[in-house]
Chains A and B, each alone.
Chain A
């Protein structure tokens, strides 16, 4: 054996306080960047927006609160938000659970493709989804005869359409990793299939179901683009009401009161989701990977039938959208698509749709870079498990804080940007940088949720093993975590890109008229009367959906389970 390599003389040079904390300090410093970002671009605008409404003349004025909450219109909006979100959550769960079972517990050809199909809607731009359901249910559409256009039904359908992915991914991921032997042993103890489901499977899935349900409810109750395009003037949620109060009635006090209400509800829901998530991670650690999907049996037919129905439900609006975009007058053609390249095609737009697409892509690239850099830092940070109670609490608080942008009103953020970032030192109102920043804010939580579980799944002893062999803290982290992180990083990048591309709520406030993104253009087009406007909106929606689906198709090929799971 060769003589000992490390000289003992080096051993006394560091003070005891430096014990294992050097990388901790560096990580803490790195954390300041996303924290500062969150403070400046989220807390400040939201705070500014609230201050505008509740501190109008420099002091707290709550006199408007009972008045705002007492309005018949507010009550109607709150009622609709609650009922529609609840209905959306229940229906999504009822449909999503059998699909999660079929796609994650059974093995059959085409399963991968179906998984991709079911996940796709989550990243489809909200405006596009709105246009899709209108083209499906409008009087000229394939299901126009049902007379559902203009009712609350399309909103509910769109909620389900969007959020199926959340339930299927979250519950499916948990289900896939579940040890089948627990169910088998219950069966050998005399439990009927129903009893097995009630006493073993359901309790094991409960954390995932609760977490998914909470988030679905959250997404439904803060949905903006869909409700705005499908609800018309009859149906509004808190989110669209905040928008109307802000933009049309200039009632900032009313908007602020509703924003606070929303904020409180969102924080409560995120707290529930985060609690169940940490429970689920413990569950996952316990069951390991002793699970195998099996081939379908006769009694799986109901689940498979529901899955078929859901796939049809997901594909039908897409089909209707594509078909109607090709409909020109009484015939078929590409006229709507040709109009996309023509800057003079309509007076509604200042630029051609292709130019808007170029804007969209550029902004989405910027937003993605921003979201990835910040998201990686946050994910590394929240995946550490400090032993001291104080630090560990801080880490979980941070984890929750970076989920906030997911649930808070994009309208509040967007409008808050305009009213708080309009003077030095942060005079960004006219800067094109605001749009990517707002989009990054929306993508950030999704990036963190994709990366953090992967990092948490790495045994901390891998890092310790590397350190014990002589690797410094950074090298040890690289050795243990870089190899597993490569694909999730790519997947998160694609995911963030797709989400940025479709972001509508905040972008609609911030995009300058001469540099709109495609979702903004689509909304402008459908707000105008005329068949040629609708045709162009449909064609632009197809284009945007195509780009998004291609990106998500690539992401799906990477097979990272945590994408879109919460």
Chain B
């Protein structure tokens, strides 16, 4: 179990990590999700022993890690840009942590081949890192980190430098590799889809503090504050009369307990774009202010009677600015907020 207690990391003039407490059980994958500059990478570097905490403690399996240098922690850190050693081959890179431990040449070669197989790059042993694509480099970096047999794997935005399609595919692969090797890991990312794909648990970090932590689906559906909600994709926030107006169209949780939806006691509602979709049979009426076509849908901005300006989605091409549309409410895209 990794245990962070009241951890604070300060730089001259700024507190990057502010009083953070977190726990990661062995075998779990935790994603620390936050916008850039929120201190999540610093948090990870502190766990790796690369930043010195100003206060608080980091403990692994009950033992305090204060004073233990990076290389004796038994954790591996994978950097955003891989940080492969350009002068060695792929095999040299992956074999590096084993060479440090004095593993023999033959055993090393066998393990390197296994790891290359695992990350989907069989036969790449003799390639040079600069000749690899970004995705391949990250796979090699992952294999190198795994070769250290880390007790805890730290991943610093491992997929952020890749293009979107590759990122989606690699996120799935990463999840499978972590699960199949039973690796405990902390992943830091600004991409909520990546966090959702790879991790079991999520901690949302804003301005150096953990704003919310819990199972991924829980965080996904029930953000605890407006800040968290807006960071994980709830674009519209409704309060007062507007919230009441929408609530009238949501199923009553007492009657249909299986339906996922917001807590009726909370005064504020947060909506993902997918909460409101164009449907001729929908109960809400509004006029389109703006429409943007993306690959698989049309994103709309609609002025809805009683709600005000909201984001909505349309499956079909068509609604143009000025058109009047009807919208249906999908309770799965609605979350309630305390205030």
Contact of A1 among B45, B145, B182 (CB under 8 A): B182
Least CB distance from A483 to B in Å reads 4
- Which one of B62-70, B238-246, B266-274, B309-317 is at the A interface? B62-70
Distance to closest chain B CB from A119 (angstroms): 27
Contact A469 B145 (CB under 8 A): yes
Bin chain A's interface residue count.
Answer: 35 or more
| Residues from chain B with Cβ under 8 Å of A470 in the complex | 71, 74, 97, 100-101, 148
Contact A468-B48, Cβ < 8 Å, known A2-B149, A4-B151, A11-B73: yes
A295 in the interface, Cβ–Cβ < 8 Å? no
Which residues 101-144 of B have a CB within 8 angstroms of A? Answer: 101, 144
Q: Is the CB of B75 within 8 A of A1?
A: no
Tell me, yes or no, whether A315 is within 8 Å of chain B by CB.
Answer: no
Shortest CB-to-CB span from A478 to chain B, Å, is 11
Interface residues of A in 366-404 (CB under 8 A from B): 387-389
Complex formed: what's the CA distance from A311 to B258 in Å?
A: 86
Which residues of B (173-221) have their CB < 8 Å from a CB of A?
A: 181-183
Mask: chain A, 391-428; 1 = CB below 8 Å from B; 0 = not: 00000000000000000000000000000000000000
**A residues within 8 A CB of B144?**
469
**Interface assignment of B12: CB less than 8 Å from any CB of chain A:** yes
Whole-angstrom distance between the Cβ of A194 and the nearest chain B Cβ: 39
A468 contacts across to B, CB distance below 8 A: 48, 50, 70-71, 75-77, 145, 148, 154
Is A8 engaged at the interface, CB distance under 8 Å to the other chain? yes
Q: In the bound complex, do residue A461 and residue B79 qualify as a contact, i.e. CB atoms below 8 Å apart?
A: yes
Q: Would you call A11 and B63 a contact (CB within 8 A)?
A: yes
Name B65's contact: one of A11, A466, A469 (CB within 8 Å): A11
Chain A residue at minimum C-beta to C-beta distance from B150: A4
B52 engages A19 (CB within 8 Å): yes
Which residue of chain A has its CB nearest to the CB of B145? A469
CB distance A12 to B151 under 8 Å? no
| B79 close to A467 (CB less than 8 A) | no
With A14-B68, A20-B69, A470-B71 as known contacts, state yes or no: A464 contacts B77, CB within 8 Å. yes
Q: Are B96 and A469 in contact (CB under 8 A)?
A: yes
Report A1-17 residues with CB < 8 Å from chain B CB: 1-6, 8-12, 14-17
Q: Which of B71, B146, B150 contacts A472 (CB 8 A)?
A: B71
Given the known inter-chain contacts A19-B52, A19-B66, A22-B69, please indicate yes or no for A1 contacting B76, CB distance below 8 A.
Answer: no
Please name all residues of chain B whose beta carbon is closer than 8 Å to the beta carbon of A475 when the two chains form the complex.
71, 100
Is A483's CB under 8 angstroms from B87's CB? yes
Determine whether the beta carbon of B101 is less than 8 Å from that of A462: no
Contact across chains for B145 and A6 when beta carbons are under 8 A apart: no
Chain B 1-36 near chain A by CB (<8 Å), digits 1 or 0: 000000000011000000000000000000000000
Chain B residues lying within 8 Å of A19, measured Cβ to Cβ, are 49, 52, 66-67, 69
B231: interface (CB < 8 Å): no
Say whether, besides A2-B149, A479-B96, A465 and B83 are in contact (CB < 8 Å): yes
Q: Which among A20, A462, A483 is the interface contact of B52 at CB below 8 angstroms?
A: A20
Bound Cα distance A319, B217 (Å): 81
Q: Which residue of chain B has the shortest Cβ distance to A12 in the bound complex?
A: B63
- Among B65, B74, B147, which residue has its beta carbon within 8 angstroms of that of A4? B74
Name the residue on A nearest B97 (C-beta). Answer: A469
Selected contact of A471 from candidates B45, B68, B71, CB within 8 Å? B71
What are the residues of chain B within 8 A of A467 when measuring CB–CB?
49-50, 69-71
Q: Does A67 contact B (CB under 8 A)?
A: no
Asked if A476 is at the interface (CB within 8 A of a chain B CB), the reply is: yes
Q: Is B71 a contact partner of A462 (Cβ separation < 8 A)?
A: no
0/1 interface trace, chain A 199-210, chain B, CB 8 Å (1 if under): 000000000000
Q: What is the distance, in angstroms, from A549's C-beta to the closest C-beta of chain B?
A: 31
Q: Which of A4, A389, A480, A484 has the most CB of B within 10 A?
A: A4
Render B37-78 as a binary contact track against A, CB cut-off 8 A, 1 for contact.
000000001001110100000001101111111111111110
Instruction: For A150, list chain B residues within 8 Å (CB).
Output: none
CB distance from B184 to the nearest CB of A (A): 10
| Closest A residue to B88 using CB positions | A483
Q: Is there an interface contact between B12 and A389, defined as CB atoms closer than 8 Å?
A: yes
B63 pairs with A5, CB closer than 8 A: no
| Interface pair B69/A387, CB less than 8 Å apart | no
* Interface pair A465/B149, CB less than 8 Å apart: no
Contact in complex: B67, A16 (CB < 8 Å): yes
The answer for the CA separation of A5 and B111 in the assembled complex, in Å, is 15
A476–B71 touching, CB < 8 Å = yes
Q: B70–A8 contact, CB under 8 A? A: no
Determine whether A47 belongs to the interface, using a CB cutoff of 8 Å to chain B: no
Task: Verify B50–A464 contact, CB threshold 8 A.
Answer: yes
Contacts of A466 in B (CB 8 A): 85, 96
CB distance from A396 to the nearest CB of B (A): 16
Residues of B within 8 A of A8 (CB): 60-61, 63, 74, 151
Which residues of A167-189 have CB atoms within 8 Å of chain B's CB atoms? Answer: none
B155 to chain A, nearest CB (A): 11
Q: Name A14's closest neighbour in chain B (CB-CB).
A: B67
- Interface members, chain B 276-295 (any A CB < 8 Å): none
Nearest Cβ in chain B — how far from A500, in angstroms? Answer: 31
A464 in contact with B70 (CB, 8 Å): yes
Chain A residues contacting B61 (CB-CB under 8 Å) are 8
* Shortest CB distance B57–A (Å): 10
Question: Are A5 and B74 also in contact (CB < 8 A) when A467-B69, A469-B97 are?
Answer: yes
- Bound together, the chains give a CA A483 to CA B83 distance in angstroms of 15
A389: nearest residue on chain B (CB-CB)?
Answer: B12
CA–CA, A5 and B75, complex, Å = 10
Could you tell me which residues of chain A, from 469 to 517, have a CB within 8 Å of some CB in chain B? 469-473, 475-476, 479-480, 483-484
Q: Are A1 and B181 in contact (CB under 8 A)?
A: yes
Q: CB of A459 within 8 A of chain B?
A: yes
Q: Are the CB atoms of B64 and A12 closer together than 8 Å?
A: yes
B151 near A6 with CB under 8 A, answer yes
Using CB atoms, name the residue of chain B closest to A467: B70
Q: List 25 A-B contacts (CB under 8 A).
A: A1-B181, A2-B149, A4-B149, A4-B151, A8-B61, A8-B151, A11-B73, A15-B67, A18-B69, A20-B49, A20-B69, A389-B12, A459-B83, A465-B85, A466-B96, A467-B50, A467-B70, A468-B50, A468-B145, A470-B71, A470-B97, A470-B101, A472-B71, A473-B69, A473-B71
Report which B residues bind A (CB closer than 8 A). Answer: 11-12, 45, 48-50, 52, 60-61, 63-77, 79, 83, 85-87, 96-97, 100-101, 144-151, 154, 181-183
Complex A-B, nearest 6 residue pairs according to Cβ-Cβ distance, in ascending order: A6-B74, A468-B77, A483-B87, A465-B83, A14-B67, A467-B70
- Other than the given A8-B60, A467-B50, 4 more pairs (CB < 8 A) read A12-B63, A464-B45, A467-B69, A470-B71
